[in-house]
Amino acid sequence: MSSNQAVAVYGAYGHTGRFVVSELQRRGWTPILSGRDPVKLSAFAAGYPGLEVRPASVDEPAALDRVLEGAVAVINCAGPFASTSAPVIEAALRARIPYLDVAAELEANIDTFALFADRAREGGIVVVHAMAFYGGLGDLLATAAMGDWTSADEISIAYGLDSWRPTAGTLIAGQVSRERRDGRRVVFANGKIAYAEGEAPITEWTFPAPLGKQPVISEFTMADTVTISRHLKTPEIRSYMTVAAINDLTNPNQLAPTASDESGRSSQTFLVEVVVRRGTEERRAVASGRDIYAFTAPLVVEAMARVVGGQVKTAGVYTAGEVFDAADFLASLCPEHLSLDMH
């Protein structure tokens, strides 16, 4: 581990950012608190006396440079990432420190790889993108399930959420993505990302206990599809989401997540099943835990610690499964944050 323990957290006062700040402190790192709104940032920082507070707008490069001064890495938790990813990555390139984010916006995910893969590699900087429940976890599970296979005929990801109380940031990011794709749906077929019109079909998925058979929306493409397709060879990536979670997501009167314990975690539970098929053979990886937003914090902080600790030897823009030992990474989250079954 680096002797410098300062990590800049952009979007520190947001719902996920708060969990990231807490996880950093729990693991002995020193967060530098940053974000776009000075008032919200100051109010949040009042609960963390002694930590540096450095507000900055994404359209002020000099201010972002000041945010990263003395930091060993930066974690971007501020959505919509269509607006924040590029400016904060630019600042990380100037500061010559690793950048990680928790982006789960498909278009922003695609843009980051397209715009910064070459520049990060040439600049000698490690960028780990989409290191969140959506994007990071599915990628790690699929990579671990693939094991020694060099390709698969199909990868399926089934998200079993008992509920989904979206944050304001999730709703705004979703709106930005829908506008960018003119309301179309994203699918992955024949080895590439494409767009589809109309409503996504409804089918059923039989999850492991306790969920069992559930109605699911198919073609519910999330950031995992982008991250998986970056490095795993397969012509088909299929995604499914429980109808109950979608009903929550689209409810106009939906409430934000509410804390159910001192950590701030909600009582929401998740179960993610990834099935990798090659011919008649199938390999499965199943992960379960609590609160998709809170879970993102140990995921991205573990990734940051591995990058700063020198476990990533080459520069560039990477996904979780591409750059880390997936099975080892998942094991590091068990049993405190995750229950895992591989078969």
Written as one string, the DSSP assignment of 95-150 is HT--EEE----HHHHHHHHHHHHHHHHHHT-EEE---SIIIIIHHHHHHHHHTT-S
CA distances for 51 relative to 3, 31, 42, 47, 131, angstroms: 18, 7, 11, 10, 24
Which pLDDT score, from 0 to 100, does residue 290 have?
96
* Distance from C-alpha of 221 to C-alpha of 238, rounded to nearest angstrom: 8
Query: What phi-psi label fits residue 29: left (phi over 0), alpha (psi between -120 and 50 degrees) or beta?
Result: beta
pLDDT by 10s per residue, the chain, length 343: 456 699 999 999 999 999 999 999 999 999 999 999 999 999 999 999 999 999 999 999 999 999 999 999 999 999 999 999 999 999 999 999 999 999 999 889 999 999 999 999 999 999 999 999 999 999 999 999 999 999 999 999 999 999 888 888 888 877 877 787 887 888 998 999 988 888 889 999 999 999 999 999 999 999 999 999 999 999 999 999 999 998 887 776 777 888 888 889 999 999 999 999 999 999 999 999 999 999 999 999 999 999 999 999 999 999 999 999 999 999 999 999 999 999 8
* Distance from C-alpha of 320 to C-alpha of 228, rounded to nearest angstrom: 9
Which pLDDT score, from 0 to 100, does residue 3 have?
63
**Pairing between strand 154-161 and 237-242?**
parallel
Which pLDDT score, from 0 to 100, does residue 4 have?
67
pTM, entire model: 0.96
Question: Hey, what are 87's tokens?
Answer: 């400016």
> Kind and range of the H or E element at 12?
none
Residue ranges of domains in the chain, CATH in brackets: 6-132+296-325 (3.40.50.720), 134-291+333-342 (3.30.360.10)
Rounded to a whole number of angstroms, the distance between the first and last alpha carbons of the chain is 33
> Which DSSP symbol is given to 6?
E
